Amino acid sequence: MAGMGQPTTAGRARSGDTEIYYESLGADGDPALVLVNGLGSQCISYEEEFCLGFVDRGFRVVRLDNRDVGLSTKFDAYEPDVVATLQAAVSGAEVTAPYRLSDMATDVMCVLDELEIGWAHLYGQSMGGMIVQTAAIEHADRVASMTSVMSTTGEIGFGGPQADVIEVLMTPSPAERDAAIARSVETSRVIGSPDYFDEDRARRRAADAYDRCFCPRGSDRQLTAVIASGDRAAGLKDLDLATLVIHGDSDPLIAPSGGERTAELVPGAELMMIDGMGHDLPPVFWSKVIDGVTRLAASSSGPTAS
C-alpha cells in the first residue's frame, strides 16, 4: 500500500525565518490533502492508518507540525500570558502575540511550495480548522476545498467551552513524563467522545507525543495567536469554494454552535453533525469523515480565484 511504513517524503519548509516540518504519504501526482493540527498537537496526531484511508481514496496526504510544536521552530524567546492576552482582547486593547493565524496559514502555503504543489484540499481540526479557514480566505487561489472540523469562527457567542473543561485546560501540565502523560490522558477523557474513550489509545498517543516533543509553552503561544487573530466572519461570508463542516454533538470544548455558525456563514457549506462525537476523532468515526472529505473533493474543480 502506498505510504505504508515510512512517509513518502519528510522534510522542512522555510516560512520566513521559521522551519515547518512536514511528511507526505501517497503518490506525488495525486491531489493533495493537507491535514492541519489543532492546539498543541503534532502531525503524528493524524495517525498513519487515518492518513492511509485517504491515500486509498486517491489523495496525496500531507501532515505537518505547526510552528511551536513538534519538530518545527519554537518561539521560546516569547513568554506567553494567556490570561492577559484574553483580557486585552475582551477590553479592546492592543493584543500582543508572537504570530497570528495568518502566519500559520502562510506556513501551510510554504509547505505546498516546498513540495511544488500548486493547490490542495485543506482539512483542519480545532485550531487547525481556524488555520484552514484563514488559508481559504487569504490564499483562495491555492485552496480547492475546505473541511473545518470541531472548530469555530472566532466570534464571541459561538463555540464556547463548558466551564469544567476550561478549568482542566488552564491547569499547567507537569513536566515529568509519567505525570504529563497521565494529565494528557485525563484531558482526553474530559473533552473526548464519551462513549468511545479508549484509555490505552489515549495513553499511547500521549506517550508518543511527549517523547517526540514536549513543549507546553508552545501551546500557550498558539493560543495567544488564536485570541489575537479575532474572528473570520466577514471573510467566511465571501468564500467561494466547496466546504464541509464537521462537528460532534457532544463536543464540550468547542460547542456545536461553532460548527453550525461556520456552516451558516460559508455559502453552500455542508454541515455534518456526528452523533456522540466529542472534541476528538476516535477510529469509529474515521470512515464517515473520510467518505465526506472524498465526496467534497470530488465536487470541487479546483480553486476558483485567479
Place of cell 485517504: 54
- For residue 153, tell me if it sits in a domain: yes
d(CA 135, CA 142): 9
Q: Is residue 257 situated within a structural domain?
A: yes
- The C-alpha cell 511550495 sits at 113
- 3 domain-assigned: no
Residue 7 has what pLDDT?
58
Cβ–Cβ < 8 Å for 132, 145:
no
205: containing domain: 9-298
Strands (E), 66-165: 120-125, 143-149
Residue 86 lies in a domain: yes
- CATH number of residue 242's parent domain: 3.40.50.1820
2 lies in a domain?
Answer: no
pLDDT in tens, the chain (306 residues): 344 444 578 999 999 999 999 999 999 999 999 999 999 999 999 999 999 999 999 999 999 999 999 999 999 999 988 888 888 888 888 888 999 999 999 999 999 999 999 999 999 999 999 999 999 999 999 999 999 999 999 999 999 999 888 888 778 889 999 999 999 999 999 999 999 999 999 999 999 999 999 999 999 999 999 999 999 999 999 999 999 999 999 999 999 999 999 999 999 999 999 999 999 999 999 999 999 999 999 999 778 644
**Residue 90, pLDDT score:** 83
pLDDT of residue 304: 63
Does 4 reside within a domain?
no
Tell me, yes or no, whether 305 lies in a domain. Answer: no
- Interior angle at CA 187, CA 222 and CA 274, nearest 5: 90
Q: How many domains does the chain have?
A: 1
Residues 35, 154: Cα–Cα separation, whole Å:
20
Q: What is the pLDDT of residue 195?
A: 97
Write phi, then psi, for 248 (nearest 5 degrees): -95, 140
Q: Please report the DSSP string for 200-232 in residue order.
A: HHHHHHHHHHHHH---HHHHHHHHHHHHHT---
Candidates 161, 174, 184; CA nearest to 278 is 161
Does 1 fall in a domain?
no
Count helices and strands (H / E) in the chain.
11, 8
Burial 74-90 (b: 16+ CB within 10 A, else e): bbeebebebeebeebbe
Please name the residues in contact with 305: beta carbons below 8 A apart, sequence gap of 6 or more: 140, 141, 240
pTM above 0.85, yes or no: yes
| 196-226 as b/e: b if 16+ CB within 10 A | bbbeeebeebbbebeeebebebbbbbbbbbb
By CB atoms closer than 10 A (0-12, 13-18, 19+), residue 292 is middle
DSSP β-ladder status, 120-125 and 143-149: parallel
Residue 172 CB neighbours (<10 A):
9
